């Protein structure tokens, strides 16, 4: 006997839902754009990873040691279209943040939510610290929710019968681009597949259009897979090394769950937890029950692998959307969602935006933030005077100026064959992005993809670097000269170094380069 499904909820007009989503997307974009401009005025500059992505964008490839190709392409396009400025290179990420919020509204509409439910769900995502923070700078994380939520919206529509089976092709496109954006998408797709198999909606998988969609997905993911294969899977080597190191802080299951609540705002917890319960038990939510299995399986995967807590974040807008629908169905009145929305809007202005965006001067940030959050919560072991996502925007121009002053002080005949070697991709990328106006040579490093880019023909006869103790270099160089300290306000604690001039390397870079590989 064929299965009888719950009737599809009566929805508001699609045009009205799209308009509402577009308004919130535009509002999100403007918030990020304005905060970035203001942050530049306060002294917040390029974020460490942004500098690296810009350099990757000048070395376009189908893959990198620590990322798929899409973020490098994003960096290259943003720099080409909007210029080399912190705000300019972030434009696409601001768009990604807006699309994430807008898609949340469309998910709410698909689940049968009224306008007040759509507004509530979108405000919950906009006010969530994790989404506000990761969409505020150039990163893989700004577009990750867009691909996940877009793919999930397609499957929701297929599951309840409101989409043509050909829509699987759209799913394949979004899922394939998601993998080319960030590899964690693979784990989400595995959880989604298992979630469907465990639910009655497994029937939608038995379709030639599903096979076609998966073919599109694989076709889009294939270039990066081939790059990984040709290069002996460096991303796996990197992740395996990090997993067996002390770089990341490994949270217990309880602590991991606690951070899920914190990164979405404690006040929003009843909304997404209620959404999870509604999807699990409500008769009207039966066509979409696979989302519950998907979330729980993905959460379990990330906890088992000791992943960073925010890796689960892109799936939460779907739960927030479901929670908004559940609240509307429970109360059948418009004022509870409106009141909830106002509370979240107040917290956005009072708490989330000042803490996650570059709105407050750095000297006033800590005093303000400690009233609301535990500023000592970290996902990595590194320490800093401000949260890492803010401290890593300071010091790069001063560091490059220090290299330029010491480089220019060298005799011209020595300067011609002097290399700048950096210990990590942040320092090397700062030199390569900000250094050309000072006439600095291209910096080299063994960190992440810099290892593949090599030593640029330098022998090690004369090298400028940043280090901690001259004795660390005496085994490899005949002469080590301390050229003074590098320091700047608000920088990461591990970036306080001394400039060193290394002379007469005992073995050439060409001979020793494999030893410089540093994937961490």
pLDDT tens per residue, range 126-179 = 999 999 999 999 999 999 999 999 999 999 999 999 999 999 999 999 999 999
Rounded to whole angstroms, the Cα distance separating 215 from 236 reads 24
pLDDT range class, residue 280, cuts 50, 70, 90? very high
Average pLDDT over residues 382-393: 92
More confident residue, 370 or 215: 215
Edge to edge, what strands does the sheet with 497-505 contain?
A: 418-421, 462-467, 497-505, 477-486
Number of H helices, E strands in the chain: 25, 4
Residues 6 or more apart in contact with residue 87 via CB below 8 angstroms: 33, 36, 37, 40
Is residue 399 within 8 Å of 49, Cβ to Cβ?
A: no
Question: Phi/psi of residue 381, each to 5°?
Answer: -75, -15
Report the distance separating Cα 79 and Cα 113, nearest Å: 39
State what percent of residues in the chain have pLDDT above 90: 90
22-26, 203-207, 367-371: least confidently modelled range: 367-371
Bridging pattern class, strands 477-486 and 497-505: antiparallel
pTM: 0.94
Confidence category of residue 6, pLDDT binned at 50, 70, 90: very low
306: left (phi over 0), alpha (psi -120 to 50) or beta: left
| pLDDT at res. 375 | 52
Assign 504 to helix, strand or coil: strand
Q: Which range, of 4-8, 286-290, 347-351, averages the lowest pLDDT?
A: 4-8
Identify any residues that bridge with 467 across adjacent strands, giving them in sequence order: 498
What is the pLDDT, as a whole number, of residue 172? 98
* pLDDT 10s digits, 49-92: 999 999 999 999 999 999 999 999 999 999 999 999 999 999 99
């Amino acid at each position: 006997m064929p299965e009888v499904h719950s009737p599809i909820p009566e929805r508001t007009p699609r045009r009205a839902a799209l308009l509402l989503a577009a308004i919130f997307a535009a509002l999100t974009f403007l918030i990020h754009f304005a905060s970035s401009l203001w942050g530049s005025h306060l002294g917040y500059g390029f974020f460490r990873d942004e500098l690296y992505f810009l350099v990757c964008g000048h070395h376009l490839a189908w893959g990198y040691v620590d990322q798929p190709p899409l973020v490098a392409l994003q960096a290259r396009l943003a720099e080409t279209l909007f210029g080399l400025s912190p705000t300019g290179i972030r434009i696409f990420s601001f768009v990604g943040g807006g699309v994430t919020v807008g898609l949340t509204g469309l998910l709410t509409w698909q689940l049968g939510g009224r306008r007040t439910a759509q507004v509530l769900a979108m405000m919950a995502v906009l006010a969530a610290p994790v989404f506000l923070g990761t969409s505020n700078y150039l990163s893989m994380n700004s577009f990750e929710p867009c691909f996940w939520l877009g793919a999930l919206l397609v499957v929701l529509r297929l599951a309840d019968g409101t989409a043509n089976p050909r829509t699987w092709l759209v799913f394949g496109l979004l899922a394939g681009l998601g993998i080319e954006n960030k590899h964690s998408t693979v784990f989400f797709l595995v959880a989604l597949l298992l979630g469907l198999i465990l639910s009655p909606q497994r029937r939608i998988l038995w379709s030639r259009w599903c096979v076609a969609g998966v073919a599109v997905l694989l076709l889009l993911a294939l270039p990066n897979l081939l790059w990984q294969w040709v290069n002996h899977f460096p991303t796996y080597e990197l992740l395996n090394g990090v997993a067996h190191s002390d770089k990341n802080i490994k949270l217990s299951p309880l602590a991991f769950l606690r951070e899920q609540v914190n990164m979405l705002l404690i006040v929003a917890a009843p909304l997404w937890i209620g959404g999870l319960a509604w999807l699990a038990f409500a008769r009207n939510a039966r066509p979409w029950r696979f989302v519950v299995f998907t979330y729980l399986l993905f959460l379990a995967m990330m906890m088992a692998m000791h992943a960073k807590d925010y890796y689960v974040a892109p799936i939460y807008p779907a739960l927030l959307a479901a929670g908004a629908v559940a609240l509307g169905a429970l109360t059948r009145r418009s004022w509870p969602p409106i009141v909830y929305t106002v509370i979240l809007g107040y917290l956005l202005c009072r708490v989330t935006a000042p803490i996650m965006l570059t709105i407050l001067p750095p000297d006033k940030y800590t005093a303000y933030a400690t009233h609301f959050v535990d500023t000592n919560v970290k996902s990595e072991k590194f320490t800093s005077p401000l949260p890492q996502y803010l401290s890593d925007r300071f010091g790069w121009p001063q560091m490059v100026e220090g290299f330029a002053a010491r480089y220019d002080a060298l005799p011209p005949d020595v300067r011609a064959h002097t290399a700048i070697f950096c210990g990590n991709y942040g320092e090397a990328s700062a030199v390569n992005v900000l250094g050309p106006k000072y006439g600095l040579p291209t910096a080299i490093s063994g960190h992440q993809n810099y290892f593949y880019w090599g030593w640029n023909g330098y022998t090690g006869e004369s090298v400028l670097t940043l280090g901690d103790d001259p004795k660390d270099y005496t085994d490899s160089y005949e002469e080590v000269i301390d050229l003074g300290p590098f320091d700047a306000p608000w920088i990461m604690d591990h970036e306080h170094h001394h400039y060193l001039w290394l002379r007469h390397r005992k073995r050439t870079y060409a001979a020793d380069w494999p030893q410089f590989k540093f994937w961490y």
